[in-house]
A and B are shown apart, each in its own frame.
Chain A
Amino acid sequence: MTSRELVRRTLSFDAPPRVPRQLWLLPWACDRYPEELRAIQARFPDDIVSAPAFHEALLPVHGDPYRPGTFVDEWGCTFLNVQAGVIGEVKTPLLKSWDAHEMVRFPEERLSVQVDEVNQFCRRTDRFVLAGACPRPFERLQFLRGTENLLMDLIDQPAGLHAFLARLHEFYMRELELWARTDVDALSFMDDWGGQQAMLISPQLWRTFFKPLYRDYVAIAHQSGKAAFMHSDGYILNILPDLVEIGLDALNCQVFCMDVALLGDRFGGKLTFWGELDRQQILPGGSRAAVIAAAQRLRSAFWRPGGFIAQCEFGPGARPENVHAFFEAWETLV
């Protein structure tokens, strides 16, 4: 069975013969553990890959986002970084107020995707392919305006914010519609909605401002016969029923910030949990036994059979032996 078929059967709870795998990598891990990483990737190859975007136009970015210094992304947002291998933070946002939103230059270069090239990529792999675009409306607003400013703007609701969000959504819709015309298997989008113990904004505010956007993204995916994948960090229990309702197929979230068993009881079988193994305690500091126990908890909560993708992030602080142990544990669990 190909990786593509394996993932599809997992998404439809159709008893796949093993759990699909995906390792998320930050350059931190590549820099620090190149040999261990090669061994992990050789033993546990990914079943899911992202398509390169094959943009015809060059994205107007400057610098390396994962190196100390500054990086300017294609929207003109400047990220300051002091730690190699991870991405930095926007400290000087572009917009002092939403009145100036018309000065934001939308990166039309992102719409210059060479569809034939993407399709050729999809044909040449038997792995499940995610689109090479990942709309992040909440985070884009933060990058442009600054997180604290944006959070207060959501209460103040200046007219310019609504106007800009409408423009942003239209741009993301165009980008996803473009990818929906390719042969990728799924579209994906992301935003970090949770803090450690609660959502960053109220579920009501989220439903008013952002749920409609995600509903549109999922609809684009489904109208073209593709799956919809989403990532969010943090505690997001409050909006899980909403994500199920809009038809999300796979969710990557920090299940260990929440109650894994409760998540399984309430949402297992309704969408696929795309990981993850806890990267705050277990991956950096857990024993092998703790990793295996965590994998068992995940299996017990989410595997129907199907409904789970063994995913973890090899990023700052994570021990390579724990990444290895996680994937190895799944070989005996399913």
Chain B
Amino acid sequence: MDAYDALRAAVIEGDDLTARAATEELLSAGHDAQALIRGALTPAMDEVGRRFEAGEFFLPEVLVAARAMKAAQELIQPLLARSKTPPRGRVVLGTVAGDLHDIGKNLVAAMLCSAGFAITDLGVDVSPDRFVAAVGAARPQIVGLSALLTTTMPAMQQTIEALEEQNLRADVKVMVGGAPLTGVFAARIGADGYAPTAAAAVNLARELTP
């Protein structure tokens, strides 16, 4: 097994210590930070997403994999910042107003990050105004809205309307997710896409930023 394989395996198995050690080894050997992301971290998290979709992995396995991925990224991120490498895309993400649930949103953030997206995570109970401000500041290609409660789903539409009112809607794609949502609801509120799982959110983000 080469060092890339070792890093991929460590992430998939959720072994953060080995992931960090393998990353250190690869960077010390002169490997490029971008190459590590493309050659190990992204394929590893894609595989984690595949196993999750296939029912082979559940949330604990995905979370420890994301933790291992983050351990590697902590070493890689400063190098990327120094080299001014542009991200795959920029995403502003948050759970909408009135809703405090964030496990799904956090998973989406971790998996998008592993896929090379730069994430601005606004947290939970995010008002439309805060989304608007963040879009104005971060200039993302994508805005991701999460909700778990049926009563907070309308806040998704309000957020989209706020983006329209501020003439920002045309600049961004809006994707939505959360347990009670459906594709029909997403279309009705004018979102550009709906992702039922974190892995699907990564695929959707890729489609929305060709």
Which residues of chain A have a CB within 8 Å of any CB of chain B? 28, 80-83, 86, 88-89, 91, 147-148, 151-152, 154-156, 195-202, 205, 279-281, 284, 316-317
Contacts and interface: CB of A to CB of B under 8 A. Distances in A.
B100 interface: yes
A205 B58 CA distance: 10
Contact of A155 (B60, B101, B179): B60
B150 A154 contact: no
B41 to A, nearest CB: 19
Contacts of B149: 83, 86, 316-317
Given A198-B58, A281-B180, A152 B63 contact: yes
A151 B60 contact: yes
Contacts of A199: 58
29 contacts: A81-B100, A82-B125, A83-B98, A83-B149, A86-B149, A89-B100, A147-B103, A148-B103, A148-B106, A151-B59, A151-B63, A152-B64, A152-B67, A154-B60, A195-B59, A196-B179, A196-B196, A197-B197, A200-B59, A201-B60, A202-B61, A205-B58, A205-B60, A280-B150, A280-B179, A280-B180, A317-B149, A317-B150, A317-B151
B199 to A, nearest CB: 12
Nearest to B151: A316
Given A197-B196, A197-B197, A317-B150, A152 B179 contact: no
A265 to B, nearest CB: 20
B197 A201 contact: no
Nearest to B180: A280
A64 B101 CA distance: 19
Contacts of B67: 152
A84 to B, nearest CB: 10
A154 B64 CA distance: 10
A193 to B, nearest CB: 11
Nearest to B150: A317
Contacts of A205: 58, 60
Interface string B37-76: 0000000000000000001011111011001000000000
A88 B197 CA distance: 23
Contacts of A86: 149, 151
Contacts of B203: none
Contact of A80 (B100, B150, B151, B179): B100
Nearest to A153: B60
B60 A152 contact: yes
Interface string B148-186: 011110000000000000000000000000011010000
